[in-house]
């Protein structure tokens, strides 16, 4: 079978799109990648990368080689050291739920999907330690329709604009355990997390803050509720303000650390142009 290099034919079967398989048929969706925009949802990893305050080392990059060799060609190589949970990264369910999926266990179908963006920035920027509520999600649905099954849910709090200013982004510039009581940033409320797991079928939840739970959380309930259902989280996302409320596709690929509780994440979004129509057709399995 031949493919145009600009054409992405995504075969979304059963789990990938909810009820894609009906009466022995498969839904094929074709998306022309030449008709739209790619948006980087990841922050770069460098000396400014923000980590949880107890990870005081941060991102380290050492030069192994850099320059012209004796054979007269240029060569560069580096080594790096990083905690799992820092910068733009994925939290795997095993991070807070014993026996659930690790980074290496997550399938690509759970990390690639259509996305919806719930913008709570007006409240989150005005109210310290704002918790995204059930009411926020219900209001979004009243305006945009039900959150589709097998969608990646992105929460835009507006805190992405503060990166990489630690004090504005985290609520404190301190490092070490003594910084934890001073953390202040919005997150997903536990009631909303429960509502999602009980009433909607999302693949993952991402947001533009350091944690899916708010800064003053000590029980990390949103993590525990989502992860118990094998729903991973994407944290420290960038540029959510550039995404439409609906219609974007997200590709969120972590470093596949076997058994890992988290990993650095390269997340991208594709926003089809207004002219691009996503075509679908049904074909028989047999």
52, 155, 130, 100 alpha-carbon torsion, rounded to 10°: -60
Please indicate whether residue 85 is annotated as part of the active site.
Answer: no
β-bridge pairing 202-207 and 151-156: parallel
Q: Are 149 and 186 in contact (CB under 8 A)?
A: no
Q: Are 154 and 206 in contact (CB under 8 A)?
A: yes
CA distance 192 to 132: 7
CA distance 253 to 89: 9
Q: Are 269 and 88 in contact (CB under 8 A)?
A: no
Q: Are 205 and 187 in contact (CB under 8 A)?
A: no
Given the structure tokens 């993952």, which residue do they identify?
204
CA distance 95 to 223: 8
Q: What is the DSSP letter of 204?
A: E
Of 85, 89, 95, 223, which residue is the catalytic one?
A: 95
End-to-end Cα, the chain, rounded Å = 17
Point out the residues that are catalytic: 95
């Amino acid at each position: 079978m031949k493919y145009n290099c600009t054409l992405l034919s995504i075969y979304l079967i059963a789990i990938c799109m909810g009820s894609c398989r009906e009466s022995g048929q498969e839904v094929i969706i074709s998306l022309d990648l030449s008709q739209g925009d790619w948006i980087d949802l990841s922050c770069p990893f460098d000396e400014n990368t923000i980590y949880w305050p107890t990870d005081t080392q941060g991102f380290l990059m050492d030069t192994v080689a850099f320059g012209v060799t004796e054979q007269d060609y240029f060569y560069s190589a580096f080594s790096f050291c990083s905690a799992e949970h820092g910068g733009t990264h994925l939290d795997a369910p095993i991070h807070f739920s014993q026996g659930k999926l690790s980074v290496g266990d997550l399938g690509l179908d759970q990390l690639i999907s259509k996305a919806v963006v719930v913008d709570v920035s007006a409240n989150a920027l005005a109210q310290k330690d704002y918790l995204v509520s059930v009411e926020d999600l219900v209001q979004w649905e009243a305006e945009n329709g039900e959150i589709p099954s097998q969608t990646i849910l992105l929460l835009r709090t507006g805190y992405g604009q503060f990166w990489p200013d630690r004090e504005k982004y985290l609520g404190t510039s301190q490092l070490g355990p003594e910084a934890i009581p001073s953390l202040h940033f919005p997150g997903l409320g536990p009631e909303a997390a429960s509502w999602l797991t009980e009433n909607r079928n999302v693949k993952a939840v991402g947001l533009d803050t350091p944690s899916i739970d708010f800064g003053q959380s000590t029980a990390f309930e949103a993590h525990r509720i989502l992860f118990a259902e094998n729903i991973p989280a994407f944290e420290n996302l960038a540029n959510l303000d550039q995404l439409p409320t609906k219609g974007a596709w997200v590709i969120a690929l972590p470093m596949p650390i076997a058994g890992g509780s988290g990993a650095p994440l390269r997340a991208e979004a594709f926003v089809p142009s207004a002219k691009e129509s996503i075509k679908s057709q049904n074909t028989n399995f047999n």
